A = this chain, B = another copy of it.
Amino acid sequence: MRIGEAAAAVGMTTKTIRFYEDRGLLPPPERSANGYRDYAQDTLSRLEFIRRSQIAGLTLAQIQGILRVRDNGVTPCSHVRDVLGKQLVDLDRQIAELTALRATVAEHYATAEAADPECCDAEQICSYV
């Protein structure tokens, strides 16, 4: 299976597949006599796993870690559980940060709504921020 077929099969571009290979998420594939990449069927599962993982918010580095465990012959279950756990903590932190930021911005916005047009003196550029 050539790279274009693989790409079409999973809905990625050939660029992306070469990029994953470059980043170590895909092993270097067989080559046909003409030098074209020749993918086995299981590459498709691997690409789909990558996409599922991305949808779950994992970075390519994290996905690579999981695939490396799998490629070492170990079932990556516990590793995946750890990664997902870290991901949860990280997401909670990000959400908390954004929520705090939202409160700050909302406060500024409320001030801006309530103030009169004589708000800004040139000294501090704008008193709303």
Contacts and interface: CB of A to CB of B under 8 A. Distances in A.
A87 interface: yes
A59 to B, nearest CB: 13
A122 to B, nearest CB: 8
A126 to B, nearest CB: 5
Main secondary structure of the interface of A (DSSP, over half): helix
A91 B120 CA distance: 25
Interface of A: 42, 45-46, 48-49, 52-53, 55-58, 66-67, 70, 75-77, 80-81, 84-85, 87-88, 91-92, 94-95, 98-99, 101-102, 104-106, 108-109, 112-113, 115, 117, 119-120, 122-126, 128-129
